[in-house]
Amino acid sequence: MVTLSFPSPSLSFVESGTCSKSTHVSRVLFSGPDEVHGESSEPSKILRDVHISERLMEDFTELARENTEKDLETCGTLAAFLERGVFYVTTLIIPKQESTANSCQAMNEVDVFSIQNERELYPVGWIHTHPSQGCFMSSVDLHTHYSYQVMVPEAFAIVVAPTDSSRSYGIFKLTDPGGMEILRGCSETGFHPHKEPEDGNPVYEQCSNVYKNSNLRFEIFDLR
C-alpha cells in the first residue's frame, strides 16, 4: 500500500544506453498463473503507448533492497516526456518517505513536482515494493493510483514483489470506465473491499500498452 504525497534534492544519475533507431522494444510480458485482477481485459479505451527501461525497474529494486530486507515498503514516482504520441519514461523520483511493512508515506511533494516541472514531464505512474506480500494492488494502492490515472489516462502502477513465486512484478491500471467509476465514488480510507464494476470487468488489470525499451536513457533522483 502506498500513500503518495512527495520530496528534497540529493541527485543520483543513471543512464541505460542511448535512444537510437536500433533500440529493442518489446511488450511487457508476465509469467505465472492468470489471476482475477491480473489478466488484462479488452482495452476499454484507446491509450497511447508507454516505453520504460527494464533496467530502471531493476535499479529501483536495488535501491529499495535495504528497506526490503527490513520488510519495509519503498515507493517512487515515474515521469515521462511525450513525443509523437508515445510516452517515454525518463525519470524515477524516490521521495523522502516513511515506511512500514504494508505502507509507504511519501513526503515533501513540492520537490517531486519541481523536478517534473523543470523537465516538462508528465506524471505517468509510480512504482512501489511489496517486500513480503504478493504482486497485487491493495485498496489503498487503488486510491493512490486513481489520483494518477484521473490526470493521465495512460498512468500505470508497478508493483515489485520479490517474494511472490508466481511473478516478481506487475504493471497495472484501473479499468476504465468500470474501475475508475468505483474509485471515483469511494470515500473510504484504509484497507477496505471494493465492489466489482457493473460492466463485469475487474477493478484493475494488467497494462497492455507498456513496452520495455532496452536503450531508453533515464535518470534517478533519490531524495531520501
Query: pLDDT tens digits, residue range 151-196?
Result: 999 999 999 999 999 999 999 999 999 999 999 999 998 899 999 9
Residue-wise pLDDT for 95-115, tens only, equals 999 999 999 989 998 999 999
Domain interval for residue 193: 50-222
- Residue 4 domain-assigned (yes or no): no
Q: What is the CATH number of the domain that holds 162?
A: 3.40.140.10
pTM of the prediction?
A: 0.82
**Mean model confidence pLDDT for the chain:** 85
Residue-wise pLDDT for 44-64, tens only, equals 468 999 999 999 999 999 999
pLDDT at 147: 96
Is there a contact between 158 and 57 (Cβ–Cβ < 8 Å)? yes
**How far is residue 224 CA from its own chain's centroid?**
19
What is the residue-wise DSSP string for 21-72? Answer: TT--EEE----S---TTTS--S-SS----EEE-HHHHHHHHHHTHHHHHTT-
- Residue 156 domain-assigned (yes or no): yes
- Residue 78 domain-assigned (yes or no): yes
- Residue 128 domain-assigned (yes or no): yes
Q: Looking at the predicted structure, is the pLDDT value of residue 30 above 90?
A: no
Nearest to 75 by CA among 154, 158, 162, 167: 158
- Which DSSP state fits 3? B
Q: Looking at the predicted structure, is the pLDDT value of residue 28 above 70?
A: no
Nearest to 184 by CA among 139, 147, 156: 147
- Residue 146 domain-assigned (yes or no): yes
pLDDT at 215: 87
Q: pLDDT class for 24, splitting at 50, 70, 90? A: low
- Residue 155 domain-assigned (yes or no): yes
- Residue 140 domain-assigned (yes or no): yes
- Residue 114 domain-assigned (yes or no): yes
pLDDT at 46: 86
Per the structure, the count of domains in the chain is 1
Q: pLDDT class for 25, splitting at 50, 70, 90? A: low
